[in-house]
């Protein structure tokens, strides 16, 4: 393994930035074809080493094998998308000039410099590929702060990249105290990409704004699902459950509240209960468990606390049994829309079923939150599309909880309201790590006016030109 700067002190962070900036001097001028080749080779190497990566990932997070595999497939898709769309996103292109023929305009996308990236423990590999890889591909260096729980996964991924041609020093991995390393990252970088809680995101935004640097953030969510009256109960319950137990509920886009027609609450409760009872919990190096453990005893205590308080408040809690850090998914019935369990992000495999009287009522409750990250609608596609357009969320899935949008890397992903700033994925997800530059040229056919007498002659003509330009 190459050297990893991991001490929690300012001097080690300074050294990481020095090495990254030095490596970036040559990298920023490298050809798109060179970068593409490196990342496609990296893609193949990561694919070939997926068993080793999954082992590390499971050891650090407690994920089941299938959820570790999902992270591998998401990582591979992220690398492929960036490699194959890099030139499309960043090659210089013409823009329409203010005066045709007389002027010409081109836009290019130079790299910002050294990008700071913070990745959380829940998806250390996949989120690295969705932020670090596009930042590198855009010609930048990266200093990435890994969560202390998942440093080995990220270092292993970085080392594979260097083994496949990425210049050494270009991708630095640090970890440690948030006050020193986290704040220091914002204070030194040229652009900052953050994934984490809304509370921390507000502090990040203030610190980045004080330096007038660009930033993007994917933050928390309290993601709603609206179940239409015509939805197939069996299929909907299965897909709802999938959106609750993914990564044991420890993902920002997981469904945590479902609005169901009042007359169908009992039916969905019964169907979901049977499915929950049939789930197999645990973690091994084969695909024999439906979901794994929560990442820590602290996280398990947090989720259990939500369930205990909901039960004390009068909700019926189905499931939720805890053994070590394994917690059985739970369905809650009888919790009010404005209760803690239905309004605060749990970040665990918990679903509150809440009845609604009408679609307007369901939409109103779904939107009644400070968050706006992800949402879903289940039922007839035409009606679901109409409801989806009324929901205030950065992604809305129809007849899926989150997997349809997460798998679509050509589309932007991010949050409205307090769920984030900016978007990852898509062409913009690459361009966010650049400083778009406009180069406008006077071609010499027309001398642009600069003196009062010239304007006196040209003013009548400008009115005619404006009318022509409007039609063009």
Which residues pair with residue 114 across a beta bridge?
141
pLDDT at position 271 over 60:
yes
Q: Which of 158-162, 163-167, 321-325 has the lowest mean pLDDT?
A: 321-325
At residue 332, φ and ψ (nearest 5 deg) are -115, 135
Please tell me what DSSP assigns to residue 402.
S
Q: pLDDT tens across 325-367, in order?
A: 999 999 999 999 999 999 999 999 999 999 999 999 999 999 9
Q: What pLDDT, on a 0 to 100 scale, did the predictor assign at position 469? A: 72
269 in Cβ contact with 240 (< 8 Å): no
To 10 degrees, the CA torsion angle through 360, 407, 394, 410? -130
Q: What pLDDT, on a 0 to 100 scale, did the predictor assign at position 452? A: 80
Q: What pLDDT, on a 0 to 100 scale, did the predictor assign at position 1? A: 42
To 10 degrees, the CA torsion angle through 236, 237, 243, 249? 170
Q: What pLDDT, on a 0 to 100 scale, did the predictor assign at position 6? A: 46
Task: Give the HSE-up count for residue 448: Cα atoms under 13 Å, Cβ half-sphere.
Answer: 10
Q: What pLDDT, on a 0 to 100 scale, did the predictor assign at position 44? A: 98
**Mean pLDDT score of the chain:** 95
Among 237, 287, 225, residue whose Cα is nearest residue 267: 237
Q: Which of 6-10, 331-335, 455-459 has the lowest mean pLDDT?
A: 6-10
Tokens 């502090």 belong to residue: 203
Task: Give the HSE-up count for residue 416: Cα atoms under 13 Å, Cβ half-sphere.
Answer: 13
Mean pLDDT over residues 102-120, rounded? 97
8 falls in which pLDDT band (50, 70, 90)?
A: low
Distance CA 47, CA 41 (A): 10
pLDDT at position 25 over 80:
yes
Angle at 102 between CA 101 and CA 106, to 5 degrees: 75
Distance CA 3, CA 375 (A): 42
471 falls in which pLDDT band (50, 70, 90)?
A: confident
Instruction: Kindly state which CATH superfamily the domain 10-219+423-431 is placed in.
Output: Aldehyde Dehydrogenase; Chain A, domain 1 (3.40.605.10)
Q: pLDDT tens across 128-145, in order?
A: 999 999 999 999 999 999
Mean pLDDT over residues 307-327, rounded? 96
pLDDT at position 274 over 50:
yes
Active site positions, annotated: 218, 252
Mean pLDDT over residues 2-31, rounded? 84
Compute the Cα dihedral for 200, 249, 425, 189 and give only its sign: positive
pLDDT at position 266 over 60:
yes
Q: Is the CATH code 3.40.309.10 the one for domain 223-414?
A: yes
Angle at 447 between CA 445 and CA 453, to 5 degrees: 150
Mean pLDDT over residues 85-99, rounded? 95
Mean pLDDT over residues 117-135, rounded? 98
Q: Where are the domains of the chain?
A: 10-219+423-431, 223-414
Please tell me what DSSP assigns to residue 166.
P
- Find the distance separating the first CA and the last CA of the chain, reported in whole Å: 60
Distance CA 198, CA 285 (A): 34
To 10 degrees, the CA torsion angle through 339, 342, 346, 349? 130
Residue 6, helix vs strand vs coil: coil
Q: pLDDT tens across 224-258, in order?
A: 999 999 999 999 999 999 999 999 999 999 999 99
Exposure b/e, 420-454, CB count within 10 A at least 16 = b: bbbbbbbeebbebbbeeeeeeeeeeeeeeeeeeee
For residue 269, the Cα-to-chain-centroid distance in whole angstroms is 31
Among 221, 222, 232, 223, residue whose Cα is nearest residue 399: 232
Hey, what are 259's tokens?
């609005």
140 in Cβ contact with 172 (< 8 Å): no
One DSSP character per residue, 20-52 reads HHHHHHHHTTS-HHHHHHHHHHHHHHHHHTHHH
Q: What pLDDT, on a 0 to 100 scale, did the predictor assign at position 261? A: 98
């Amino acid at each position: 393994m190459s050297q990893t700067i991991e001490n929690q002190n300012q001097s080690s962070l300074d050294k990481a930035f020095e090495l990254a900036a030095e490596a970036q001097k040559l990298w920023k001028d490298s050809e798109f074809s060179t970068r593409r080749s490196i990342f496609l080779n990296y893609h193949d190497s990561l694919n070939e080493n997926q068993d080793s990566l999954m082992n590390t990932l499971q050891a650090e997070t407690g994920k089941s094998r299938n959820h570790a595999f999902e992270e591998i497939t998401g990582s591979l898709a992220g690398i492929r998308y960036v490699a194959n769309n890099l030139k499309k996103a960043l090659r210089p292109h013409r823009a329409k000039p203010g005066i045709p023929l007389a002027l010409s305009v081109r836009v290019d996308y130079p790299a910002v410099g050294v990008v700071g990236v913070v990745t959380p423990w829940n998806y250390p590999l996949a989120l690295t590929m969705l932020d670090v890889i596009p930042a590198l591909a855009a010609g930048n260096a990266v200093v990435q702060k890994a969560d202390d729980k998942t440093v080995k996964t990220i270092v292993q991924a970085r080392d594979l990249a260097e083994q496949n041609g990425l210049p050494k020093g270009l991708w630095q991995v640090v970890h440690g105290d948030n006050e020193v390393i986290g704040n220091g990252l914002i204070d030194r970088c040229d652009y900052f990409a953050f994934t984490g809680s809304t509370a921390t995101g507000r502090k990040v935004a203030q610190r980045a704004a004080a330096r007038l640097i660009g930033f993007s953030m994917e933050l928390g969510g309290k993601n709603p699902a609206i179940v239409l009256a015509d939805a197939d109960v069996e299929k909907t319950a299965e897909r709802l459950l999938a959106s609750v137990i993914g990564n044991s509920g420890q993902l920002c886009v997981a469904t945590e509240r479902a609005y169901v027609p009042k007359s169908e609450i009992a039916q969905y409760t019964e169907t979901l209960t049977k499915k929950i009872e049939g789930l197999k919990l645990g973690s091994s190096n084969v695909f024999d468990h439906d979901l794994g453990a929560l990442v820590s005893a602290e996280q398990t205590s947090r989720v259990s606390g939500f369930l205990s308080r909901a039960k004390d408040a009068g909700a019926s809690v189905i499931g939720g049994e805890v053994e070590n850090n394994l917690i059985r998914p739970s369905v809650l019935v009888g919790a009010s829309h404005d209760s803690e369990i239905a309004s605060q992000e749990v970040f665990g495999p918990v679903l509150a079923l809440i009845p609604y009287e009408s679609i307007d009522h369901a939409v109103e409750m779904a939107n009644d939150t400070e968050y706006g990250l992800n949402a879903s609608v289940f039922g007839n596609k035409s009606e679901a599309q109409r409801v989806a357009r009324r929901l205030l969320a950065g992604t809305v899935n129809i007849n899926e909880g989150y997997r349809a949008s997460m798998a679509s890397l050509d589309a932007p992903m991010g949050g409205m309201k307090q769920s984030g700033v900016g978007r990852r994925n898509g062409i913009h997800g690459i361009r966010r790590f650049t400083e778009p530059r406009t180069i406008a040229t006077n071609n010499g056919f027309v001398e642009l006016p600069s003196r009062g007498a010239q304007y006196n002659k040209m003013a009548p003509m400008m009115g005619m030109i404006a009318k022509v330009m409007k039609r063009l």
